[in-house]
């Protein structure tokens, strides 16, 4: 994980080199976020993770209240009303909701572990995820909503969801997608999906970002152009280079070797988390870790997929690498859950 943090800081620093102000504000803010996240990480690590079960309802309801509040009092950033901004500090409540959802689903599914999941169990768990997804789509934030749904799906599969349930959910998902397309998706989100299906749909608009990311990735070669020498990010051809498309920055400036280091670091993290899950002493513990894996893997997969043009652009950052304070704090919080479990299983 340390390797991922270093790669992220290096990429953010590199992009900041091209800024006229030269004060490296985002690097400083990311350092502060990592510092706060580290304090949270160590505090949660030494705490008893079993307390999560007792406070699962509190965490879940708190997450819903934050999502409701941001719709009323929040600020709009990049087309989504999903942020609380106070001066230089911003916070995205959906990051907290990811943690609350994992704990709530782990508590629910572990209470049904003595028998196979029934249809009513799957439907009730679906209601647990539906409430935050609805609020997130009201912002609208398709990317975060997709991560919440994906996390629920993987946790339900781990909990013993049957093949018949998957087919049923496929039908429900198809119907829901049609309803969402006509009632919830913003025009820019529809344009992103159309561009993903047909890259020539809007090559100078929604398709521009992905085209520039692919150029950056392809120009990296084996060793890259070097930190601070990437043309796509430094000449401002690549939008959102510190967040959505930071993978393209790393690929362009550090090349195939840098990308390999990044993927190996993520693979080792997933391997470590999976080992913790397999050694879990009970279903609740295993589901907590599997939920953490689901969130991290989905964000990893979606971010790299959209950089390569394999998935629609949804605004999902690369875990521990992309710029973002609230994301950094709450993702390290999730890993702290797993680390707390690992310590108490030794």
Q: How many independent structural domains does the chain possess?
A: 1
Q: Is the pLDDT of residue 295 over 90?
A: yes
pLDDT in tens, 179-197: 777 776 666 667 667 666 6
Coil, strand or helix at 134: helix
* 335 neighbors 292 (Cβ within 8 angstroms): yes
Other C-beta atoms lying within 10 Å of the C-beta of residue 113: 15
pTM: 0.89
Other C-beta atoms lying within 10 Å of the C-beta of residue 182: 8
Choice among 10-24, 152-166, 189-203, 223-237 with the minimum mean pLDDT: 189-203
pLDDT value for 202: 60
**What is the extent of the structural domain holding 12?**
2-344
CA distances 15 to 100, 133, 228, 259, Å, are 33, 33, 7, 17
Confidence grade of residue 205 (pLDDT, cut at 50, 70, 90): low
Joined together, the tokens standing for residue 288 give: 């907590």
pLDDT in tens, 303-340: 999 899 888 888 899 999 998 888 999 999 999 999 99
Q: Is 134 exposed, middle or buried (0-12, 13-18, 19+ CB in 10 A)?
A: middle
* 258 neighbors 226 (Cβ within 8 angstroms): no
Coil, strand or helix at 66: helix
């Amino acid at each position: 994980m340390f390797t991922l943090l270093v790669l992220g800081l290096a990429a953010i620093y590199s992009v900041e080199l091209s800024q006229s102000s030269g004060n490296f504000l985002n690097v400083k803010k990311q350092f502060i976020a990592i510092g706060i996240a580290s304090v949270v990480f160590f505090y949660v690590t030494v705490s008893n993770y079993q307390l999560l079960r007792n406070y699962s309802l509190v965490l879940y309801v708190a997450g819903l209240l934050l999502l409701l509040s941001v719709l009323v009092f929040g600020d709009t950033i990049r087309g989504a009303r999903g942020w609380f901004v106070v001066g230089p500090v911003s916070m995205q409540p959906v990051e907290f909701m990811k943690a609350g959802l994992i704990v709530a689903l782990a508590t629910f599914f572990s209470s049904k572990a003595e028998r196979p999941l029934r249809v009513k169990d799957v439907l009730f768990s679906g209601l647990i995820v539906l409430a935050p997804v609805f609020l997130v789509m009201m912002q609208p934030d398709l990317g975060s909503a997709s991560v919440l749904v994906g996390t629920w799906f993987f946790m339900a599969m781990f909990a013993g969801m049957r093949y018949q349930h998957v087919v049923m959910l496929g039908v429900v998902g198809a119907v829901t997608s049609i309803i969402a397309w006509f009632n919830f998706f913003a025009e820019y989100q529809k344009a992103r999906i159309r561009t993903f299906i047909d890259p020539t749909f809007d090559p100078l608009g929604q398709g521009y970002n992905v085209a520039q990311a692919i150029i950056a990735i392809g120009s990296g070669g084996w060793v890259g152009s070097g930190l601070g020498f990437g043309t796509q990010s430094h000449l401002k051809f690549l939008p959102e280079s510190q967040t959505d498309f930071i993978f393209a920055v790393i690929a362009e400036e550090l090349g195939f070797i840098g990308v390999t280091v990044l993927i190996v670091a993520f693979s080792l993290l997933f391997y470590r988390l999976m080992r913790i899950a397999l050694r879990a002493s009970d279903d609740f513990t295993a589901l907590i870790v599997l939920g953490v894996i689901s969130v991290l893997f989905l964000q990893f997969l979606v971010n790299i997929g959209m950089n390569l043009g394999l998935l629609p652009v949804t605004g999902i950052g690369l875990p521990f690498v992309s710029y973002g304070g609230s994301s950094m704090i709450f993702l390290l919080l999730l890993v702290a859950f797993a680390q707390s479990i690992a310590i108490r299983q030794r």
